[in-house]
Amino acid sequence: MTTESERSTTQTQPVEVRNNSEESRFDILVGGVSAGFSMYTHHDEGPSRQRIFYHTVIDEQFDGRGLASVLTRTALRTSVQEGYRLVAVCPYVARWLTTHRDVDDAVDRVRPAHLAAVRRAAQGSADRSSTYRP
């Protein structure tokens, strides 16, 4: 799902962030071309639904445009709007959160159960890699 607020431009090409829930990731596209993604998995802890971000990638040809920040901001805000609490296992997302405080009240610290959920998700992702389509 993409909304107007999730669109911007970089070097005159439109940038779009989409929640690709089928692949458990947010995709970023520049001019309709896949430029990267941020992978997530879900974990329920008590009454809280958590979205764990564990891997973010921007293709080399799109480096230096601030796309990782656009992707992360949109992915985190969308997740909070959807009722998720946030867990940052991905080093980029964790670092981003230290300088962008607008979702602080929705961030949970990483626990062993989160790391186990990421291992399961990563294994499932590897099992699907033969059918990967950006």
Residue 38 has pLDDT above 70, yes or no: yes
Q: What is the pLDDT of residue 4?
A: 36
Does the domain formed by 4-128 have CATH 3.40.630.30?
Answer: yes
Edge-to-edge strand ranges of the sheet holding 33-45: 7-10, 13-20, 25-30, 33-45, 48-58, 85-88, 107-108
Q: What is the pLDDT of residue 126?
A: 62
pLDDT in tens, 44-67: 977 889 999 999 999 999 999 999
The pTM is what? Answer: 0.85
Q: Amino acid letter at 100? A: H
Q: What is the pLDDT of residue 133?
A: 46
Q: What percent of the chain has pLDDT over 70?
A: 85
Domain ranges, ordered by start, for the chain: 4-128
